[in-house]
């Protein structure tokens, strides 16, 4: 969050960091097996000596620390957290076991860094500035920032579980038209009408699920940015809250974090591939050009094309994974409390995902069709992760 990573990049970080922790520590539970062979191009990783004693907590902390050193900018956070754990564990673990365990975790972390480096992300960072197409239906930078598109090449990054970013077709958008009475015009008019009639709870829902990593605020000539959690980070935190409440043991927690992160990573990668393939105009642009020049959405429109909704895609995928692990359980989400919003209660993960999806319509930043299409797409992605990442013996 402090680094201000966009949603796809944040989900990538969650995936590789948690993979490192899992690969260094799954040996603590003999009912679990390696991720090797279950992820795209993940074919090798260091293994511990069968004749030696390890403390898998130490190994996990070392693996997390090393992987984060290449994934984050502000590594002071991960380094300081690792030092806290190492100091505590050094008092519990024999010196030789501590050293051996840390060395093994470091080796695993380096192996995961090499695996991450080969996914094509760094190549996308060196590509020329993205030039969006120009047409009546095409996306253009949106107010108030009119920022260049965020992570336009993320759809080209290697997926971690899906066969490719286009493995599952995204339900199409409504046919574009500027004619009054057309289905597309009606979709935009619905966005206007919903904003005019928002209830206090609908406004709260829109803000609760906003999760704009870098929110720009204006006060006269004074402009400043504030950091918020990413959409994927919100769901990682939901998992943490549920697992802490249930006192889930270490290796199972790592399994859940990994599968959830993979669903988020591939969800964003697949969604971004579709967004920049279709390059569909956002509601605020369409409405300002063809209906009402002065109209503004409740939330700031993030800087990338419309179809399909990223929130809807990844929340549906996340809900599939968490429902697989914990069932249809009620829970309370307090993720947004640090950002000024009260906890919200949900009867299930899927109910939370549905609310997150419709929140984008309440916020005025997506058409209903974009939300529904993302929801359908995300369910397929989440189920694919469940079907393919099986690590319990």
Residue-wise pLDDT for 332-363, tens only, equals 999 999 999 999 999 999 999 999 999 999 99
User: Beta strand 344-346 with 331-333: parallel, antiparallel or unpaired?
Assistant: antiparallel
| pLDDT tens column, 49-73 | 999 999 999 999 999 999 999 999 9
pLDDT over 90 (residue 225): no
Tokens representing residue 179 in the block:
């004619």
Specify the pLDDT at position 227: 80
Average pLDDT over residues 169-187: 97
Specify the pLDDT at position 213: 80
Cβ(244)–Cβ(139) under 8 Å? no
DSSP reduced 3-state for 262: helix
Cα–Cα distance measured from residue 332 to residue 348, given in angstroms and rounded to the nearest whole number: 10
Cβ(279)–Cβ(343) under 8 Å? no
Specify the pLDDT at position 214: 73
Q: How confident is the model at residue 259 (pLDDT cuts 50, 70, 90)?
A: very high
Average pLDDT over residues 240-245: 98
- Contacts of 280 by beta carbon, 8 Å cutoff, 6+ apart: 137, 138, 139, 173, 176, 305, 306, 307, 370
Cα–Cα distance measured from residue 129 to residue 297, given in angstroms and rounded to the nearest whole number: 27
CA dist 150 to 9, 202, 235, 303, 351, Å? Answer: 10, 27, 21, 6, 29
Cα–Cα distance measured from residue 388 to residue 54, given in angstroms and rounded to the nearest whole number: 29
Average pLDDT over residues 170-174: 96
- Contacts of 209 by beta carbon, 8 Å cutoff, 6+ apart: 231, 234, 311, 355, 356, 359, 360
Cβ(349)–Cβ(367) under 8 Å? no
Specify the pLDDT at position 92: 97
| Domain range annotation of the chain | 7-117, 130-388
CA dihedral sign, ordered 230, 234, 235, 240: positive
Cα–Cα distance measured from residue 200 to residue 179, given in angstroms and rounded to the nearest whole number: 33
Average pLDDT over residues 264-269: 98
Percent of the chain with pLDDT over 90: 94
Q: Residue 247: left if φ>0, alpha if ψ -120 to 50, beta else—which one?
A: left
CA dist 255 to 6, 108, 307, 337, Å? Answer: 24, 16, 31, 27
Q: E strands within the chain?
A: 214-219, 222-227, 331-333, 344-346
Nearest to 25 by CA among 118, 119, 104: 104
What's the pTM value of the predicted model, to 2 decimals? 0.97
Cα–Cα distance measured from residue 336 to residue 209, given in angstroms and rounded to the nearest whole number: 8
Nearest to 160 by CA among 391, 345, 388: 388
Specify the pLDDT at position 68: 97
**DSSP string computed for 336-373:** TGGGT---EEESSHHHHHHHHHHHHHHTTSS-HHHHHH
Architecture (CATH level 2) of domain 130-388: Orthogonal Bundle (1.10)
Which range (28-32, 133-137, 216-220, 316-320) has the least confidence?
A: 216-220
Specify the pLDDT at position 294: 97
Average pLDDT over residues 202-227: 83
Average pLDDT over residues 251-270: 98
User: Beta strand 331-333 with 222-227: parallel, antiparallel or unpaired?
Assistant: unpaired
Cβ(379)–Cβ(170) under 8 Å? no
Specify the pLDDT at position 247: 98
pLDDT over 90 (residue 2): no
Specify the pLDDT at position 313: 98
Specify the pLDDT at position 298: 97
The backbone torsions φ and ψ at residue 202, rounded to the nearest 5 degrees and listed phi first, read -65, -35
| pLDDT tens column, 355-386 | 999 999 999 999 999 999 999 999 999 999 99
Percent of the chain with pLDDT over 70: 99
Q: How confident is the model at residue 220 (pLDDT cuts 50, 70, 90)?
A: confident
Gyration radius of the chain's alpha carbons = 22
DSSP reduced 3-state for 205: helix
Specify the pLDDT at position 193: 98
């Amino acid at each position: 969050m402090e680094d201000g990573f966009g949603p796809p990049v944040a989900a990538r970080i969650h995936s590789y960091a948690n993979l490192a922790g899992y690969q260094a520590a799954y040996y603590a539970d003999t009912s679990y097996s390696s991720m090797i062979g279950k992820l795209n191009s993940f074919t090798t990783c260091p293994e511990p000596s069968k004749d030696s004693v390890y403390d898998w907590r130490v190994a996990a902390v070392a693996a997390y620390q090393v992987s984060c050193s290449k994934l984050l900018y502000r590594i002071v956070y991960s380094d300081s957290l690792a030092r806290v754990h190492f100091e505590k564990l050094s008092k519990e673990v024999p010196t030789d076991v501590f050293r051996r365990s840390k060395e093994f975790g470091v080796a695993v972390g380096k192996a995961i860094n090499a695996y991450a480096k080969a996914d094509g992300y760094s190549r996308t960072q060196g590509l020329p500035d993205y030039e969006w197409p120009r047409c009546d239906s095409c996306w253009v930078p949106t107010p108030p920032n009119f920022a260049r598109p965020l992570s336009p090449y993320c759809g080209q990054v290697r997926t971690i579980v899906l066969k490719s970013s286009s493995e599952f077709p995204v339900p199409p958008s409504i046919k574009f038209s500027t004619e009054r009475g057309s289905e597309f015009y009606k979709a935009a008019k619905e966005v206007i009408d919903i904003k005019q009639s928002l209830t206090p709870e609908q406004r709260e829902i829109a803000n609760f699920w906003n999760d704009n990593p870098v929110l720009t605020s204006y006060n006269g000539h004074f402009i400043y940015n504030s950091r918020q959690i990413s959409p994927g980070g919100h769901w990682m935190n939901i998992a943490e809250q549920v697992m802490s409440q249930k006192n889930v043991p270490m290796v199972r927690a790592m399994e859940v974090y990994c599968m959830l992160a993979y669903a988020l990573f591939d969800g964003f990668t697949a969604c971004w591939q579709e967004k920049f393939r279709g390059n569909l105009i956002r509601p605020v642009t369409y409405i300002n050009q063809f209906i009402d020049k002065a109209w503004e959405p409740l939330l700031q429109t993030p800087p990338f094309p419309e179809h399909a909704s990223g929130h809807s895609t990844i929340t549906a995928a996340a809900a599939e994974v968490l429902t697989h692990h914990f069932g249809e359980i009620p829970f309370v989400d307090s993720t947004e409390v640090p950002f000024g919003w009260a906890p919200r209660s949900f009867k299930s993960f899927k109910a939370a995902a549905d609310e997150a999806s419709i929140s984008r319509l309440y916020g005025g930043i997506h058409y209903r069709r974009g939300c529904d299409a993302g929801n359908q797409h995300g369910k397929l992605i989440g189920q694919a992760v469940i079907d393919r990442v099986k690590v319990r013996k």
